Amino acid sequence: MPLSRRPAACECAPPMLEFDAELIRRFDVSGPRYTSYPTADRFVEAYDEAAYRTWAAKRNIGGIRRPLSIYVHIPFCDTVCFYCACNRIITRNRRHAEDYLAYLRRELDLQAALFAGDNEVRQLHFGGGTPTYLSDEQLWRLMADIRARFALAPQGEYSIEVDPRKVGPDTVRALAKMGFNRMSLGVQDLDPQVQRAVNRIQSEAQTAAVVEAARAHGFRSVGLDLIYGLPKQSAASFARTLERVIAVDPDRIALYNYAHLPQRFKPQRRIDAADLPGPEEKLKILKLAIDELTAAGYLYIGMDHFAKPDDELAIAQRQGRLHRNFQGYSTHAECDLVGLGVSAIGKIGPTYAQNHRSLREYYEALDHGRLPIMRGLELSADDLLRRAVIQALICHFELSFEPIESSYLIDFRRYFQRELEALKELERWGLVTLEDDWIGVTPRGRLLVRHVCMVFDKYLQSDLQRTRYSKVI
């Protein structure tokens, strides 16, 4: 049942967006990105392989058959990008990739046994690191291993993250033949000075060639990833990047905020903080990007994401089907998620599970015939309720109380009395509108939807706890 006002099948107006610099300055605090609720930092080691197996065995109790989504983490990169905060391994020794694929095959065997006879996959995503660090032949083998153990639906969504510096037309053609139909390309910024400052030299021609090849070989959607707030970046320089990116005409654009956390991410220590744009310049860059992308016809999906009106993300949002998971916005809310590879996170029923984050521990578990699960969480009734509320707000910017009350057997106003009182302050500032049975995030509040969602996060008990997260903007 949709948790917003719009009926599931309607084609409604897309979310509007207003840039309000004063609001952003006031409410730009640290907070989660809500790719899950509770967030991964709340996972516990008490949730182990045995718990995961138990939930996998009973995930379809009651006769509801849930399809699967698969995430595969490939951690390797040739070179280090100084801004990167991903779990990745920098190496030019290709033997490491062969060893990793052998262990992935072991994990696939263990996971496939849990879903035998009920293993339809509707969504697949290769992330990293750099998935295209693998050779074409290695990618063929990995896809063959997956197909041998799971049933990939003919009309499924199969995506891969691509580094345009390492991929030519032949590889794009091979990816299409393997079954991939959606890709995202890391770009970040096309300005040479910015690229040198973050150690990622990538020409416009390389990016355009991969996009052109993807279109020629039938990819349904091509997305480009940009970052604002990088060293040496300015509104003037980013305007040139936006002009060239829009000319490439991608279906989706992700515009991420660079969070400078050198105390947590070692590569960022090689960035001179003096080269970073100041807060006001960063706001100018963000406003410029929003203005240019919306003028070019892109719709604001939410949380850094823009898409063309005919892209599957935009359609899912209009129809009330949009979902958010560990890969960002998704059109497959109904799927359980199987995470494969080092650090990968999965979701089975009301639980999350994360694999070991180091290769040594990941390999050691598989050497002993165990699923390499490091930690996870079994969600309480309260967690599930709050997750539904946060999902509705972050995906659709509105929430009707009645579906929540019917699904979770609560009186919304009584259960969330404290939260509704807190929202009144946000209403006074124009971030939300409140009615007797409804919450709406205003166009002015949509860039700050993370802040609205934080009101419903019971784990954020103090400002001190919030410092572990990046800034909202």
Residue 31: per-residue pLDDT: 87
Q: What residues does 432 pair with on adjacent strands? A: 441
Q: Which residue intervals of the chain bear CATH 3.80.30.20?
A: 43-339
The span from the CA of 220 to the CA of 69, in Å, is 18
How far is residue 433's CA from residue 164's CA, in Å, rounded to a whole number?
43
Q: Say how far apart CA 361 and CA 383 lie, in whole Å.
A: 29
Distance (Å) of CA 374 to CA 339, 341, 379, 380 = 12, 12, 17, 20
Residue 77, annotated as binding a ligand = yes
Per-residue pLDDT at 12 = 52
Say if CB 77 and CB 133 are below 8 A apart. yes
Is the domain spanning 1-38+380-473 CATH 1.10.10.920? The answer is yes
With CA atoms as reference, report the closest residue to 183 among 216, 223, 153, 156: 223
What's the sign of the alpha-carbon dihedral 178, 308, 454, 68? negative
> Which residue from 200, 196, 297 is spatially nearest to 253, judged by alpha carbons?
297
130 labeled part of a ligand binding site: yes
Does 12 carry a binding-site annotation? no
User: Does 128 count as an annotated binding residue?
Assistant: yes
**pLDDT tens figures, 397-410:** 999 999 999 999 99
156 labelled binding-site residue? no
What CATH number labels 43-339?
3.80.30.20
Amino acid 311: pLDDT: 95
Q: Could you tell me if 276 and 260 are in contact, meaning their C-beta atoms sit under 8 angstroms apart? A: yes
Residue 298 identity: Y
Task: State the amino acid at position 425 in one-letter form.
Answer: E
Residue 335 annotated as part of some ligand binding site: no
Q: What is the pLDDT of residue 59?
A: 83
Q: Which amino acid is at 43?
A: F
User: In which residue ranges of the chain is pLDDT below 50?
Assistant: 1-2, 5-11, 463-464
Does 24 count as an annotated binding residue?
A: no
Q: CA angle at residue 306 from 300 to 307, to 5 degrees?
A: 105
233 labeled part of a ligand binding site:
no
The answer to whether 182 and 167 are in contact (CB under 8 A) is: no
Q: Which single residue is written with the structure tokens 């946060």?
A: 390
> What Cα–Cα distance (Å) separates residue 407 from each residue in 1, 325, 345, 412?
8, 21, 26, 11
Would you state the pLDDT for residue 5?
A: 46
How confident is the model over 121-159, as pLDDT tens digits? 999 999 999 999 999 999 999 999 999 999 999 999 999
- Residue reference for tokens 């917003």: 4
- Residue 86 in marked binding region: no
pTM recorded for the entire structure: 0.92
Could you give the angle at which helices 204-216 and 235-248 cross, rounded to 10 degrees? 20
The runs of H, that is alpha helices, within 42-168 are 49-57, 95-114, 136-149
CA–chain centroid gap for 263, Å, is 23
Could you give the 3-state DSSP secondary structure of residue 370? coil
Domain(s) of CATH 1.10.10.920: residues in the chain: 1-38+380-473
Quick one: how far is CA 411 from the chain centroid?
A: 32
Rg of the chain's alpha carbons, rounded to an integer?
22
Q: Which two tokens stand for residue 119?
A: 């293993």
363 is in an annotated binding site: no
Give the span between the Cα atoms of 59 and 66, in whole angstroms.
8
H helical segments located in 323-466: 359-367, 381-396, 401-408, 412-415, 417-428, 449-454, 463-466
Asked if residue 32 has a cis previous peptide bond (ω within 30° of 0), the answer is no
- Is 225 annotated for ligand binding? yes
First to last CA, the chain: 31
